[in-house]
């Protein structure tokens, strides 16, 4: 849609186009002329939409906070799913993973060598020394929030503890590269270089994603990318930073029995932290963590 200067802006701010997104669109158009990947207007979140995502994130983070307070050896991953389902419902939300493309549970619980998409089960009992990622996603009033955290069960050995702590730091390294009018590849490359410097490998096939009005939107977010590549980051672009980092090699496989759970191919430990952010005029704002 082509707008004239005095037309209402496409973002529904109520302002004239010339006083709102006209210069913004012109700047994006210049990057597109240079052959760069740029976001469509539909990916740019408005202030109203961002507030809706934040309300959803309150539930998402409440679930993860509850897990932090109650997780311990002897707890089954099904109990974690029960906690998340109950809290989400009590707070008025819907668990986004439940029945998403056939996923059977309300949350993902990935233990030790499971990279992601672990399916909660009453048969999977956490033991002393385990590490686990709990990946929680919530829908509230049509807005999606998404974040995950690592939890260490009891007496975790030093190598596993260091992996968990280093991957958390890798997310911070990535966040420092999030600035408007730079590229997702700048962020992904920084994450990859940091993880490699620690002796780890980053999963190639699975990455982050846009999120907010849908569970998974564009852009797909790689953490093995090169500077100056991938989508242009602009104010209003909302996505996750969630590198999946293996202690061993980067190779993975999907459980053939359930077609969901991803494992490290060499049975090495894997860790992941996930945050949801929106790019701002001078950096980023954390929405869910």
Query: What CATH number does residue 225 fall under?
Result: 3.90.230.10
Residue 107 in any domain: the answer is yes
Is 227 contained in some domain? yes
Count how many Cα atoms sit within 13 Å of the Cα of residue 287 in the half-sphere of its side chain.
33
Nearest to 60 by CA among 171, 167, 134, 150: 134
Residue 2: its pLDDT value, please?
83
pLDDT band with cut points at 50, 70 and 90 for residue 224 = very high
Q: How far apart are CA 51 and CA 45, in angstroms?
A: 10
| Domains identified in the chain, total number | 1
Residue 9 in domain: no
Cβ neighbourhood burial of 201 (10 Å; 0-12, 13-18, 19+): buried
| 70 within some domain | yes
The structure tokens listed for 139 are: 């829908």
Question: Does 24 map to a domain?
Answer: no
Range of the domain at 271: 37-288
Residues 170-218: pLDDT tens digits? 999 999 999 999 999 999 999 999 999 999 999 999 999 999 999 999 9
Between CA 86 and CA 98 the distance in angstroms is: 13
Q: What is the DSSP string of 59-96?
A: HHHHHHHHHHHH--TT-BHHHHHHHHHHHHHHTT-EET
Please list, in sequence order, all residues whose beta carbon lies within 8 angstroms of the beta carbon of residue 45, skipping any fewer than 6 positions away: 53, 212, 213, 236, 237, 238, 278
Instruction: Note the pLDDT tens digit of each residue in 159-181.
Output: 999 999 999 999 999 999 999 99
Residue 186 is predicted with a pLDDT of 98
- What pLDDT, on a 0 to 100 scale, did the predictor assign at position 187? 98
8 Å CB contact between 147 and 247:
no
Structural tokens at position 187: 């962020």
Whether 97 is in a domain gets the answer yes
Q: Can you state the angle between helices 184-197 and 158-175, rounded to 10 degrees?
A: 160
Compute the C-alpha angle 96/101/103, nearest 5°.
65
pLDDT, tens digit (0-9, with 9 covering 90-100), for 2-35: 889 999 999 988 899 999 999 999 999 999 999 9
Q: Is the residue at 118 inside a domain? A: yes
Report if residue 30 sits inside a domain.
no
pLDDT tens digits, one per residue of 93-146: 999 999 999 999 999 999 999 999 999 999 999 999 999 999 999 999 999 999
- pLDDT for 157 beyond 80: yes
Residue 198, CA distances (Å) to 163, 169, 176, 220, 248 in order: 9, 11, 18, 25, 11
Tens digits of residue pLDDT in 54-68: 999 999 999 999 999
């Amino acid at each position: 849609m082509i707008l004239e200067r005095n037309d209402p802006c496409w973002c529904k701010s109520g302002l004239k186009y010339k006083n709102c997104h006209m210069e913004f669109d012109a700047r994006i158009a210049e990057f597109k002329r240079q052959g760069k990947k740029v976001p469509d207007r539909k990916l740019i979140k408005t202030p109203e939409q961002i507030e809706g995502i934040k309300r959803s994130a309150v539930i998402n983070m409440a679930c993860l906070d509850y897990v932090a307070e109650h997780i311990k050896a002897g707890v089954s991953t099904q109990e974690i799913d029960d906690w998340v389902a109950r809290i989400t419902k009590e707070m008025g939300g819907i668990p986004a993973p439940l029945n998403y493309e056939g996923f059977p549970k309300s949350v993902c619980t990935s233990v030790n060598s499971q990279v992601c998409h672990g399916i909660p089960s009453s048969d999977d009992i956490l033991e002393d020394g385990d590490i686990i990622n709990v990946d929680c996603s919530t829908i509230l009033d049509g807005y999606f929030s998404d974040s995950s955290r690592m939890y260490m069960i009891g007496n975790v050995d030093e190598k596993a503890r260091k992996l968990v702590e280093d991957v958390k730091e890798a997310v911070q390294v990535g966040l420092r590269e999030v600035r408007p009018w730079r590229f997702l590849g700048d962020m992904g490359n920084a994450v990859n270089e940091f993880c490699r410097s620690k002796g780890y490998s980053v999963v190639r096939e699975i990455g982050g994603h846009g999120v907010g009005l849908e569970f998974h939107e564009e852009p797909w977010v790689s953490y093995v990318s090169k500077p100056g590549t991938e989508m242009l980051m602009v104010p209003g672009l909302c996505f996750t930073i969630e590198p999946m980092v293996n202690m061993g090699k980067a190779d993975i496989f999907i459980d053939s029995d359930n077609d969901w759970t991803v494992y490290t191919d060499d049975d090495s430990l894997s860790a992941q932290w996930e945050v949801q952010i929106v790019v701002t005029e001078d950096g980023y704002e954390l929405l869910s963590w």
